[in-house]
Amino acid sequence: MATEVVFNADRERYEITVDGEFAGHVDAIAQDGAIEMPHTVVLEKFSGQGLAKILVRGALDDLRARGLSIVPICPFVIGFVEKNPEYQDLVK
pLDDT of 20-72, one tens digit each?
999 999 999 999 889 999 999 999 999 999 999 999 999 999 999 999 999 99
pLDDT at residue 54, rounded to an integer:
98
Which of 17, 14, 19 lies closest to 2, judged by CA?
19
Burial tier of 48 (Cβ tally within 10 Å: 0-12, 13-18, 19+): exposed
> Has residue 18 got a pLDDT over 90?
yes
All structural domains of the chain? 3-90 (3.40.630.30)
Would you place residue 5 in the very low, low, confident or very high pLDDT band (cuts 50, 70, 90)? very high
Who's near 32: CB < 8 A, 6+ residues apart?
A: none
**pLDDT score of 1:** 85
pLDDT of the residue at 21: 98
Confirm whether pTM is higher than 0.75.
Answer: yes
Report whether 81 contacts 88 (CB < 8 A).
Answer: yes
